[in-house]
Amino acid sequence: MTGGLPPVLSDQRRATITAHLVAHSGELTTRVVEAIQSRHSWFTRLGAEERSWITVVARAGIDNFISWFADDAKADVNPGSLFNAAPRALTRKVSLHQTVDLVRTTVDVVGEQINELVPPQERRALELAIVYFSRDVAFAAAELYARAAELRGGWDERMEALIIDAVVRGEADDMVVSRASALGWHSQGAVMVVVGPSAAGADLESYRHAAEALGLAVLASRQGGRVILIGSGEQLTDRDAALALVARLESRFGVGNIIVGPLAPDLANANRAARTALAAARVAYAWPDCPRVASSAQLLPERALANQDDAREALLEEIYKPLADAGGELLHTAASFLEHGSLEATARSLFIHPNTVRYRLKRIAQTTGNSLTNPRQAYVLRLAITLGRLAEG
């Protein structure tokens, strides 16, 4: 409701103009719809149902304006009520910018018809009325879309949480993937799962915007004090590339470790990546020097000691068995070096030259990806060898 028009028209002249507007309301509606069709290409791309609803809204806007103009002091005449003529779902098909285009076009068309509707001395009053009314319609449209966005945002966040929960539980079927697509998810290559502490006061939208700025399609959910991100992008070529991307998001997270799970081929097969990332996040505190951004593979020892079967299996399959199958006494040399701690002592215990030990250490690093001269990697090798011996015993 506006604050009222300046008293430039007598009640009699207002009634006369109103009657003239009522008589031509159908013609005005037709001209408005024709102008919308000719001036806005997006209108023709809408479905027949959406176009018909816009016609209804245009007619409601003209009728509402006429009622308001007839007596702008009526408290029950609300310019924003014209949007009640269409379903709220229309806000998903027609953007706020497009709605403003509609309002502007309607105002322009009605303004163009003033010369035919009223005598010259009263055109200014009608022009002023149109400006007052369209202002209130614009505010009503902004409020409508803000409310719709708020409701849609809450619904979308709940849907994202359900999708991520389905991925974690291994229930990401075609329906889940379809729902993710409805939220704007489009797989662009490999999929990564990131688990990190939630920053105080940060909303999920900030994580989405930051990830999207890096070219990632992303889903986000909050579980307790943690944020889970599922991202996809052509840049995710390997683990190092994933860690580098997440490092650029580091400032968005709270205090603590940010864990990146193994890459998955797609959303439907991201269950292992999600479970692994969550499991690693739960035990990261046990490694005091754990990097701020770390992969779940870097936490294999802690995960294995926490009775995570997949971590034990990874230590056996990826480290112990390749070492045992490599030949050349590599396994024996590794165990001896772990016990004695130096080239010379290991050489003496094995009755070989130190250069031979040096050569074998290099082979061990190439075979397992872990160097015995690095304390952390030596710890990984020691645990893998211990688990291997227990498995074979």
Q: What digits encode the pLDDT tens for the residues 133-189?
A: 777 766 666 666 666 555 445 556 777 888 888 888 888 777 788 778 777 777 778
Do 28 and 75 sit in the same domain of this protein?
Answer: yes
Q: What digits encode the pLDDT tens for the residues 257-302?
A: 999 999 999 998 999 999 999 999 999 999 999 999 999 999 999 9
Bigger pLDDT: 355 vs 34: 355
Would residue 121 count as lying in a domain? yes
CA distance 117 to 125: 12
pLDDT of the residue at 390: 93
Do 370 and 244 sit in the same domain of this protein?
Answer: no
pLDDT of the residue at 140: 67
pLDDT of the residue at 13: 74
Do 196 and 121 sit in the same domain of this protein?
Answer: no
pLDDT cut 70: percent of the chain above it: 83
Bigger pLDDT: 58 vs 385: 385
Would residue 177 count as lying in a domain? no
Last residue of a domain, one of 265, 296, 327: 296
Last residue of a domain, one of 296, 326, 346: 296
Do 331 and 363 sit in the same domain of this protein?
Answer: yes
pLDDT of the residue at 129: 76
Q: What digits encode the pLDDT tens for the residues 295-323?
A: 999 999 999 999 999 999 999 999 999 99
How many domains in the chain? 3
pLDDT of the residue at 20: 77
The highest-confidence range among 110-119, 131-140, 146-155, 243-252, by mean pLDDT, is 243-252
pLDDT of the residue at 57: 76
Would residue 163 count as lying in a domain? no
Bigger pLDDT: 283 vs 81: 283
Would residue 238 count as lying in a domain? yes
Last residue of a domain, one of 296, 317, 341: 296
The two tokens of residue 297 are 């593979």
Helix ranges restricted to H, the chain: 11-23, 25-39, 41-44, 48-70, 90-93, 96-112, 114-117, 123-168, 174-182, 204-213, 239-247, 271-283, 300-305, 309-315, 321-325, 330-340, 343-350, 354-368, 375-392
- What is the 8-class DSSP label of residue 199? P
For the cut 80, the answer to whether the pLDDT of residue 392 exceeds it is yes
Do 42 and 145 sit in the same domain of this protein?
Answer: yes
Whether the pTM exceeds 0.95: the reply is no
The CATH number for 381's domain is 1.10.10.2840
Burial 45-64 (b: 16+ CB within 10 A, else e): ebeeebbebbbebbbbbbbb
Do 217 and 335 sit in the same domain of this protein?
Answer: no
**Mean pLDDT along residues 189-205:** 88
Would residue 234 count as lying in a domain? yes
Would residue 180 count as lying in a domain? no
pLDDT band at 91 (very low <50, low <70, confident <90, very high): low
Q: Tell me what the pLDDT averaged over the chain comes to.
A: 82
For the cut 80, the answer to whether the pLDDT of residue 89 exceeds it is no
383 close to 393: Cβ distance less than 8 angstroms: no
The CATH number for 273's domain is 3.30.70
259 close to 280: Cβ distance less than 8 angstroms: yes
Would residue 100 count as lying in a domain? yes
Would residue 126 count as lying in a domain? yes
pLDDT band at 343 (very low <50, low <70, confident <90, very high): very high
CA distance 85 to 83: 5
Range scoring the smallest mean pLDDT among 62-76, 100-114, 143-157, 306-320: 143-157
Angle between helix 354-368 and helix 330-340 axes, rounded to 10 deg? 110
Q: What digits encode the pLDDT tens for the residues 377-390?
A: 999 999 999 999 99
**Mean pLDDT along residues 23-46:** 83
**Mean pLDDT along residues 355-365:** 95
Do 210 and 284 sit in the same domain of this protein?
Answer: yes
Domain region containing 243: 186-296
Do 271 and 315 sit in the same domain of this protein?
Answer: no
Do 347 and 262 sit in the same domain of this protein?
Answer: no
Do 265 and 373 sit in the same domain of this protein?
Answer: no
pLDDT of the residue at 249: 93
Q: What is the CA radius of gyration of the chain?
A: 34
**Mean pLDDT along residues 247-251:** 93
- What is the 8-class DSSP label of residue 250? G
**Mean pLDDT along residues 193-213:** 86
Do 211 and 108 sit in the same domain of this protein?
Answer: no
DSSP notation for 302-317 = HHHHTT-HHHHHHHII
CA distance 79 to 95: 19
Do 329 and 375 sit in the same domain of this protein?
Answer: yes
